[in-house]
Chains A and B, each alone.
Chain A
Amino acid sequence: SQTIHQWPATLVQPVGSPLSLECTVEGTSNPNLYWYRQAAGRGLQLLFYSVGIGQISSEVPQNLSASRPQDRQFILSSKKLLLSDSGFYLCAWSVLPSGRVSYNEQFFGPGTRLTVL
């Protein structure tokens, strides 16, 4: 079965420091991968998505970037964090229709709670 991992689970960083969050998926090949941010008590904001290695689409202009160095690895980075970058960062995956998996079912990782001070 497929599983998705994110680390770290929680992170406290000072303003201006760099950021690297990692997401990996197991049990599937060539997944679509997504990064979302959720501010406290708010909805899901899509930040980036990727349909393949090295293919990144950015949804909002910001000081964050994403990379996909391997098929099942998705990394979210920043060179200098802002206070407004605080939030709950969720990675998600989906696959082409195959067996019992419907098209574009998205499954979320456990998330990283980031606090920028």
Chain B
Amino acid sequence: GENVEQHPSTLSVQEGDSAVIKCTYSDSASNYFPWYKQELGKRPQLIIDIRSNVGEKKDQRIAVTLNKTAKHFSLHITETQPEDSAVYFCAASRGSSASKIIFGSGTRLSIRP
């Protein structure tokens, strides 16, 4: 079955700097890659996703890249702000109606003022 590995497990960056979180997946049939942000005590929220027919997607300060050949994808946050502090989860799915989403283990991002 699918396995998603996520690195690093913790990340601390200076406010205003960039943060990068990387994930690898094992199932070559996966074609949908969402990212979730979970603030302390709250539910995970979908912040951005990418499908296998594109290599990059951007939404304001966040961007995701996908390398299907190497089976890895990354989340990039630029100009980090204190409100970016949270746990981020990557995930992979085959995208069909009956499939599961396999989550990475999470990255705890801390933004230093």
Contacts and interface: CB of A to CB of B under 8 A. Distances in A.
Interface residues of B, number: 23
Given A51-B97, A96-B97, A106 B43 contact: no
Contacts of B103: 43-44, 46
Nearest to B97: A96
Interface string A26-45: 00000010100000001110
B32 A104 contact: yes
Contacts of A46: 100, 103
A49 B98 CA distance: 9
Given A103-B95, A103-B96, A104-B95, A111 B43 contact: yes
Size class of the contact patch on chain A: 20 to 34
Interface string A68-107: 0000000000000000000000100011100000111111
Given A43-B89, A43-B106, A108 B43 contact: yes
B89 A107 contact: no
A58 B74 CA distance: 30
Given A102-B49, A105-B34, A109-B43, A43 B104 contact: yes
Contacts of A109: 43
Given A43-B89, A43-B106, A44-B89, A105 B46 contact: yes
Given A43-B105, A43-B106, A90 B46 contact: no
A46 B93 CA distance: 13
Contacts of A106: 34, 46, 101
Interface of A: 32, 34, 42-44, 46, 49, 51, 59, 90, 94-96, 102-111
29 contacts: A32-B97, A32-B98, A34-B100, A42-B106, A43-B89, A43-B103, A43-B104, A43-B106, A44-B44, A44-B89, A49-B100, A51-B98, A90-B43, A94-B101, A96-B97, A102-B32, A102-B49, A102-B51, A103-B32, A103-B96, A104-B32, A104-B95, A104-B99, A104-B101, A105-B34, A106-B34, A108-B45, A109-B43, A110-B42
